[in-house]
């Protein structure tokens, strides 16, 4: 639960409001963020090595701040 609170403070809103389909990809991004928070054993460096086009959560936020 601590991780979800951190996520909420990072994006400035709760998960329930993020999952509301304001944009077609909103729910997908919310679940992606949830997965990374709930699975801290995930190795982002390995993911980026396997898929250089993958983006970190912070990069996703920065890339989509105007949406």
DSSP 4-17: HHHHHHHHTS-HHH
* Confidence (pLDDT) at 1: 45
* pLDDT value at 60 more than 80: yes
* Confidence (pLDDT) at 19: 55
**Stretch 25-42: mean pLDDT:** 78
pTM of the model as a whole: 0.37
Question: Residue with structure tokens 């936020």?
Answer: 61
Range from 31-35, 45-49, 62-66 carrying the lowest mean pLDDT: 31-35
* Confidence (pLDDT) at 62: 92
Residue 64: CB atoms within 10 A of its CB come to: 13
**Stretch 8-32: mean pLDDT:** 65
Are the beta carbons of 27 and 21 closer than 8 angstroms?
yes
Are the beta carbons of 55 and 63 closer than 8 angstroms?
yes
Residue 29: CB atoms within 10 A of its CB come to: 18
């Amino acid at each position: 639960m601590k991780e979800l609170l951190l996520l909420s403070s990072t994006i400035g809103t709760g998960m329930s409001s993020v999952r509301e389909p304001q944009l077609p990809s909103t729910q997908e991004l919310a679940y992606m963020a949830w997965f990374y928070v709930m699975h801290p054993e995930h190795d982002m460096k390995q993911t980026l090595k396997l898929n250089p086009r993958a983006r970190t959560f912070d990069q996703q936020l920065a890339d989509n701040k105007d949406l």
